[in-house]
Structure 1
Amino acid sequence: MTRELFGTDGVRGTANTYPMTAEMALKIGAAVGRYFRKDSSVAHRVVIGKDTRLSGYMFESALTAGLTSTGMNVLLLGPIPTPAVGLLTTSMRADLGVMISASHNPAVDNGIKFFGPDGFKLSDEAELEIEALVQAGVEPAQSRNIGRAKRIDDGLFRYIERVKSTFPNGMRLDGIKVVIDCAHGAAYKAAPEVLWELGAEVITVGTSPNGFNINQNCGSTQPRVAAEAVVSNGADLGICLDGDADRVLLIDETGAVADGDQIMALFASRWAREGSLKGNSLVATVMSNLGLEQFLGGEGIGLERTNVGDRYVVERMRSGGFNLGGEQSGHIVMTDYATTGDGLMAALQFLAALVQSGLRASELANVFEPVPQLLKNVRFEKGQTPLDDEAVQTEILRVESVLSGRGRLLIRKSGTEPLVRVMAECEDEGLLHQSVDAIVSAIEAVL
């Protein structure tokens, strides 16, 4: 069976367009409820969180209807970061966690992510079984076994306290000025509160969600406004989260942006020196810069590469016993603290290094010199398969032969958007641009 509903991070699409319709959300809720409610003799519960998109209300109601129809008791958390759902799934002894979010996508999109009872995202095998249940249809529970739903008021407080507990005991952020950009998303309350309670002077950006402005000209995908705020306010650090706060980019005092590769390089090298980097290796994806790999090799640290998607990073971490991994885009996974990427926790670890070292952010965040890398996206329509075209495949082979021994090429379909991503790395920037542009042109010619 092929995956039709699930991408690299749950189900995602434009709201009110297949598969992100209320009707489909109800069916998915019933299917996942049946999948996890295997013993009808005991009570089963599911926690549901969401970000700040207007369509979140619709999907929250539809999922609740589907889940309760199969006998699941639903605990509604309201707007809350994705990593909080993973945390609360385990701490509240739920059988399932659900996050309604399209992460860094625009407000018109939405998505549904699932966490198992261990707080980790579901495996490909589990998602395939749930898809099969959606297609086959699910018998509802008997009338007396219908589930209940209620709102939980202290979920955000629980998460805030958990995040603060990951900061070194006795350390404070007094005298540190921080710009926090919450992308008008799920962390708009939690992130500023955590930083303020730890002693920082906090300047907020992107903390006024209205249902339509999530990720709009702000957040980790568009850090310009936050960078300007850092410089104009003389801040020590800028923190840019995405819409569901599972990824982060950092901005130093000069306004320069540090991506996930630089953050992971810093953490890996520090943890290795402290003896706390399990397996003496970092897990990252094929998208991470070659400069990261070269830096880690020089430090005697291994690099494990996976397919794109923080879920695949976590799977490799768990199978290999590693405790640090992530993506260039800013997912930083620290399994000593959380079951998924947590942008706020990662930012606190950087701030702890800032306090402990006495260095400026620009001295900490510029760990290695990246190999020139270029990424371009080509959008396609539903049903189109440009990478299967013979002319495109021929051009890819040609470019690969030109780059052989001089760089690397990576071409893939996005798992969250209808895009083909064309990425190359090469020290020769002229050849880098020629290579990417040639493949982009070949793809566009067949669309």
Structure 2
Amino acid sequence: MNNKLQLIEELESSVRSYVRSFPAVFTKARGYKIWDEDGNEYIDFFAGAGALNYGHNEPGMKKKLVDYILDDGITHSLDKATDAKVEFLDKLNEIILKPRGMDYRVMFPGPTGTNTVESALKIARKMTGRTDIVSFTNGFHGMTIGSLAVTGNSMKRKGAGIPLSHTVTMPYDNFVESDNDPLEYFERFLEDNGSGVAVPAAVIFETVQGEGGINAASMEWMQRLEKICREWGILLIVDDVQAGVGRTGTFFSFEPAGIKPDIICLSKSIGGYGLPLAITLIKPELDKWKPGEHNGTFRGNNMAFVTAAESFTYWEDPQFEKSIQRKADKVTKFLSDMIEKYPEMKGSLKGRGLMQGISSDVEGFSEKVAEHAFEHRLIMETAGGHDQVFKLFPPINIDEEGLQAGLDIIEKSIQEAVESMNLKEETVTN
């Protein structure tokens, strides 16, 4: 084993994860490429689990950040006013919110995705006076106690070590393959006094479930869910931590459905450069916090404000969004072709935008594809309760050449996984 990896083996907690899947010491990255200490070049279809939608060390953001640091710009400020914060808020409002007809207050809850979810749950309970939150099967919302309570993964929930309460889980769109509408099930619970389910404070969901298996809700399902929430006075929270910031083709993943969430959770790529930043967007009439009622030492990451403000300039050009959607169409066609070309993997298409993958009914197949991909210098991960999905998360600004090179490696990896697991032979025998 490499000496540096050996040091990690000896000193870092056993909870470490990605270093096990990608056993290399990385030293440099730019755009969609990353290099290890031996000079090997990798294509990155992982994108920091959605934190690097614009790739590594994006030049415009890097220059702004370096200039800010060299000019002794404020690094840490809690929630004091700084030029960096003002510019971020102004550009967020002028470039992102106003053109979409969105009126929200911006809260800085702390630097991570679980921070924004915790703040959303808290304000929902505060404003409604109710305690329960409805979440959905296979949802993932974070690892602190409140957000873990609305997360579906049983292994992660067990890590809490205590009961996770005041939440009710409902079936996500297409969770059960049947003609029954899962939202009818939800409505029935609300209508029936004997259901044991009180009217909740809020509903929280992801439009595309990232960690849960790249499950994409239909536009009709989202619209119906919003309608139910309005009828019952339930607040609608969209967790756009992973699916947002262009990952599904539009800045907010819910835009194609035309819904208007009461609260929106953003983190990961909202900082643009991979620097920790999270925001909670709250409808003005719900923004009834007392000063300091929810706070945190690192809720003012000025360096992330600088890079985030610069990242919004991508969205000033309407062609940028269209370019994401063109690349997404290419990925969809590629994955559909793979499913048809390699029936042995028993695959089905998952996700939308540049957040897609293949779910395989063959145990261990998707993990094997990711393993072979790494051998060919492409980094991607698996998702789902049984790691049954291999997922493609290229940077949304990747060029056509880089995208095609990554897809070529994935096809080679699928072919090798079929051969190494003797699936062709098994299919012929059967």
Higher fraction of helix = 2
- Note whether the superposition's TM-score is higher than 0.5: no
Q: Decide which structure has greater strand share.
A: 1
Calculate the TM-score normalised by the size of structure 1.
0.28
The answer to which structure, 1 or 2, has the higher relative contact order (CA under 8 A, 6+ apart) is 2
Q: Give TM-score, length-normalised by structure 2.
A: 0.29
